[in-house]
Amino acid sequence: MDVSVFSQHLSWIRETAAMRRILITGASGFVGANLARTLLASGHEVHLLLREHHLDWRLQDIRKHVSVTRADLRDADLLFRAVKQIRPEWIFHLAAYGAYSFQTNIQQTFETNLLGTANLVQACLETGFEVLVNTGSSSEYGFKDHAPSEGDLPEPNSYYAVSKVSATMFCRYTAESKEVRIPTLRLYSAYGPYEEPKRLMPTLIRCGLEKKFPPLVNPETARDYVYIDDVVHAYILVAQTSGREFGAIYNVGTGRETKLSEVVKIARDVLDIPGEPQWGSMESRIWDTSTWVADNRKIRDELGWHPKYSFEQGFRLMVRWFEENPKMLNANHVLSCQDRK
C-alpha cells in the first residue's frame, strides 16, 4: 500500500488519536481514497460504504486492508442495516454526485447529495456515533467578489451547489437539535494523487510530461488550490477536536487565490514545457470566475489547522507521484491531452 505521500502527517495522527472504527462514504472518489489511505496507515479500522457500481482504480491497492459494504445511500433500509452492522465511531461522508461537468442528472444530484445525506445521518443517529464529518463545497457560496466566511449568505449558482448547501443546512440543524457532532468541511479546489483524470492538474501534468500544454480557458480564471494532504489533515483534525458548535462549518482552503496563468507558469518551470499555451482553446465552464478564494480564519483559530503546502510544493509532489506511478499515465481511464472537460 503506497502511503508515502501522506507520511509527514502520520506522526501527529498516531500521537493524538486513539484507534477508531471508521466508516467512509465516497471512498472510491479522489478525496475519500486519499483519506482512507491515511487512516489505514495510522492504524484505524476502516470500513468503506460503496455502491454496487463504482470506480475501482483508486482502491485496488488497499482493498485487502479495508472492509467493504455494498449499499446505496438512497436505500434507507439497506443503509440502516449496514450502519447497524458496522457501528462506526467516526463517519466521514464524502459521497456526492454532480461536481463534474459530465454529471448532469438533476434527480440523481438531489437523491445522492440531500436524501442520501439525510438517510446516512438518520442511520447513524440510530446506532450512535462520536462524530460525523459532512463534506460541503465552496460552490455553496456562489460567485462572490471577496473571500466568503462561513457566516456569509450562500448563493448557490447550480443544482449541485443547491443540493450541497441543503445538505449542509440539514446536517447543521440536526447537529444542533440533537446535540451531536456533525461538522461540515466546505472544500475549495483540492488537487493531488488519484485526482479525477479529466481535471486540470492531472491533465496539465500528463501533457507537461509530453512537453505539451492541454487546452486551457482564460488565464485570469482563479481558484484556491489546496493540496490533498492538507485536506486530509482537516478531516482528521475536525474529527479529533470538540468544537464549540455541534454543527460547525469550516472553509478548507489556503486563503490564497491562484490564477490559471500562475498555475501554467509553475507547470512550465517544473516540467520544462516549451512554448506558450493556447489561451481560450477550451470553453469556459459556468463556474469559472476570476475570484474564488477561502476565508479560512475560523478553521485556523478554532482547530489550529493551516495549509502546509504552497501550490508549487503541492504541484511538485503531484508530479513526483505520477513519475513514481507511471501506470497512472497509461491506464485506460486516462484521456489524451486533447480530451479535458
Summarised one tens digit per residue, pLDDT across range 288-333 is 555 789 999 999 999 999 999 999 999 999 999 999 998 887 654 4
Report the pLDDT averaged over residues 170-177.
Answer: 98
Residue 281 has pLDDT above 80, yes or no: no
* Amino acid sitting at position 219: P
Beta bridge pairs of residue 290: none
Q: How many residues does the chain have?
A: 341
Q: For the chain, what percent of residues have pLDDT higher than 90?
A: 78
Question: What pLDDT is attached to residue 242?
Answer: 80
Question: What pLDDT is attached to residue 4?
Answer: 43
* Amino acid sitting at position 28: S
Q: Region of 4 please: left (phi>0), alpha (psi -120 to 50) or beta.
A: alpha
Q: Who wins on pLDDT, 28 or 338?
A: 28
17-41 confidence digits (pLDDT tens) = 589 999 999 999 999 999 999 999 9
Residue 110 has pLDDT above 80, yes or no: yes
pTM value is 0.91
Distance CA 225, CA 258 (A): 7
Q: What is the DSSP letter of 219?
A: T
* Nearest by Cα to 251 from 147, 181, 119, 131: 147
When pLDDT is cut at 50, 70 and 90, the band that residue 282 belongs to is low
The rounded radius of gyration (Å) of the Cα atoms in the chain is: 19
Weakest-pLDDT range from 55-59, 236-240, 289-293? 289-293
Distance CA 262, CA 267 (A): 9
Q: Who wins on pLDDT, 125 or 54?
A: 125
Q: Who wins on pLDDT, 134 or 279?
A: 134
Cα 124–Cα 130–Cα 134 angle in degrees, nearest 5: 65
When pLDDT is cut at 50, 70 and 90, the band that residue 1 belongs to is very low
196-223+258-286+311-330 folds as: UDP-galactose 4-epimerase; domain 1 (3.90.25)
* Nearest by Cα to 121 from 95, 164, 91, 85: 91
Distance CA 234, CA 305 (A): 7
Residue 206 has pLDDT above 70, yes or no: yes
Distances (CA, A) of 92 to 23, 24, 56, 124, 129: 6, 5, 19, 11, 11
Residue 52 has pLDDT above 90, yes or no: no
Report the pLDDT averaged over residues 219-239.
Answer: 96
* Nearest by Cα to 101 from 282, 308, 333, 317: 282
Distance CA 200, CA 198 (A): 7
Q: How far is CA 105 from the centre of its chain?
A: 21
Architecture of domain 4-188+226-252: 3-Layer(aba) Sandwich (3.40)
Residue 209 has pLDDT above 60, yes or no: yes
Please give the mean pLDDT across all residues of the chain.
90
Question: What pLDDT is attached to residue 289?
Answer: 57
Q: Is the CB of residue 229 less than 8 Å from the CB of residue 287?
A: no
What is the torsional sign of CA 260, 264, 265, 266? positive
Residue 8 has pLDDT above 50, yes or no: no
Question: What pLDDT is attached to residue 18?
Answer: 82
Q: Is the CB of residue 55 less than 8 Å from the CB of residue 334?
A: no
Residue 6 has pLDDT above 60, yes or no: no
Q: Where are the domains positioned within the chain? A: 4-188+226-252, 196-223+258-286+311-330
Residue 316 burial (10 A CB sphere; 0-12, 13-18, 19+): middle
Tell me the residue ranges of DSSP E strands in 45-181. Answer: 45-50, 67-70, 90-93, 131-137
Cα 4–Cα 297–Cα 184 angle in degrees, nearest 5: 65
10-22 confidence digits (pLDDT tens) = 444 444 458 999 9
* Nearest by Cα to 94 from 45, 46, 35, 42: 35
Q: Do domains 4-188+226-252 and 196-223+258-286+311-330 have the same CATH topology?
A: no
Locus of grid cell 510530461: 209
